[in-house]
Amino acid sequence: MAVIAYIGLGANLGEREAQIRAGLAALGRVPGVRVLDVSSLRETAPVGGPPQPPYLNGVARLETALSAPALLGVCQQLERDAGRVAGGPRNGPRPLDLDLLLYGDERIDTADLIVPHPRLHERPFVLEPLRELGVEPAALPRPARPLVVADPEEFAALNTGWLHGGCRTGLVPTMGALHEGHASLLRIARQTCDRVAATIFVNPLQFGPKEDFARYPRTLERDLALLAREGADAVFVPETSAMYPGGFVSRIAVGREAEGMEGAARPDHFSGVATVVAKLFALARPTHAFFGRKDAQQVAVLRRMTRDLGFPIGLVECPTVREADGLALSSRNVYLSPEDRRAAPMLYRALRAAHAAHAAGERRAEALLAVARGHLAQEPRARLEYLELRREGDLAPLAPGPVTFARLLVVARFAADGPHPVRLLDNLSLGAPLDA
Ligand code: AMP
């Protein structure tokens, strides 16, 4: 059965246009290949590789009865016929380049061939001719696994390509050690956006000197498998030195939203979070960004930062994903001893008890807090750090008077006297359905 395929065309040595035209003519003579259409050819500056002359680039649409690997083999043979030598420098100059960009709607991911071409979205010299041929980037199949990008400039180029292609682009910032909570953010992002990038970066700026930066769980291989399963298009995994090169000093100052609760317990934490997220926003310029409600104060700080700095980005707050026993998923849950793990769902039980009291008509703040505190007091393994009722949304202190709609936030420490205490956070809206 015939398949429509798209081939990227390029040359930057010799008679560039003549070589491209000759390559296309040769392609058209291969049994089982018919060249249907060719975009205009444009001159483009080389990307990466050694210093070299500019390229001429375009895209051809084919109809082919060949399999994708066979078509790739044909392209490689034609490159060799045009005088391209194997084993030259990566991204080095070449008399003819024929890249298999798309093969029907197929997603191929083998050692020799990845389709759609993994760098397609980063390259205006591919996207523009593709659009000339009627292929809209937003309609392209997603890759079989996310493109892993470590270079900030490349990540920016990728996102710019998506944006220029008319895509809604989603950013899901994480510190890795991914779990089903992160997976749900990715699913929501995929429902909202045409392209989704996750980031994995354990951000040193948001850890205090005595905190767990060095021992924060790092599980990249598993994370990549989860991202592939959830259909992420790309994942940005920068080195610390790429995010904060020597001489980096600028920090986002945070204010009212960062006062109290986590802000009191972790003095520079939210400034560090806001700084890295602002940096990620500036690099990726996503249309939407996705954060978990589990870290409610973080969301309040980031909403403020986004508004104050004028990032045109929609922040989406996603519901908290829990274990069957109610414990909110967290990368730090792996630190819990088996006994503490059994005790930890007490946090959610305490919040639920206050929720139930509120649903039954209790509107006095002190009484609602007392219900939750009473539950927490039953669990000696948990040392309560704070329990607060705050205004829904910006988490400002509650005005006196009856509590109609508010957020109850709790943090407790486990293994509090040991060398590595584990702080667990949770929160729940009172006056809203339970999953909100
Ligand atoms: P982290 O990797 O801990 O920085 O978290 C990355 C994002 O995932 C943040 O926006 C978190 O709020 C979110 N997240 C963490 N745990 C959960 C969870 N249990 N349910 C939903 N989102 C979560």
CB burial of residue 141 (10 Å; 0-12, 13-18, 19+) = middle
- What is the average pLDDT across 343-366? 97
The pocket around ligand 1, CB under 6 angstroms, is made up of 174-175, 181-182, 184-185, 291-292, 294-295, 318, 320-321, 328-331
Atom number, ligand 1, closest to the C-alpha of residue 321: 20
- Strand pairing report for 55-64 and 42-44: antiparallel
CA distances from 298 to 232, 386, 413, 430 (A): 23, 16, 19, 19
First to last CA, the chain: 50
Output the residue whose Cα is nearest ligand 1's atom 18: 181
Least confident of 87-101, 237-251, 393-407: 87-101
Distance 107 CA to ligand 1 centre (A): 29
Output the residue whose Cα is nearest ligand 1's atom 22: 292
- What is the average pLDDT across 212-236? 95
The per-residue pLDDT for range 368-391, each reduced to its tens digit, is 999 999 999 999 999 999 999 999
Distance 294 CA to ligand 1 centre (A): 7
pTM comes to 0.91
Least confident of 122-126, 227-231, 386-390: 122-126
Distance 421 CA to ligand 1 centre (A): 20
Cβ pair 271, 205 in contact under 8 A: yes
Q: Which residues contact 345 (CB under 8 A, 6 or more apart)?
A: 323, 325, 326, 327
Dump strand ranges (E) for 83-226.
97-103, 108-109, 114-115, 147-149, 169-174, 195-200
pLDDT at 248: 96
C-alpha span between 217 and 297 (Å, rounded): 23
117 is catalytic: no
C-alpha span between 422 and 418 (Å, rounded): 9
Residue 275 scores a pLDDT above 60 = yes
C-alpha span between 436 and 432 (Å, rounded): 6
Q: Which of 202-216, 306-320, 420-434 has the highest mean pLDDT?
A: 306-320
Residue 422 scores a pLDDT above 90 = yes
- What is the average pLDDT across 241-270? 96
Give the residue among 61, 63, 94 at the shortest CA–CA distance from 76: 94
Answer left, alpha or beta for residue 177, where phi above 0 means left and psi between -120 and 50 means alpha: left
Distance 255 CA to ligand 1 centre (A): 22
Output the residue whose Cα is nearest ligand 1's atom 17: 181
Please report, as a single letter, which amino acid is at residue 177: A
C-alpha span between 150 and 142 (Å, rounded): 20
Output the residue whose Cα is nearest ligand 1's atom 10: 291
Please report, as a single letter, which amino acid is at residue 363: R
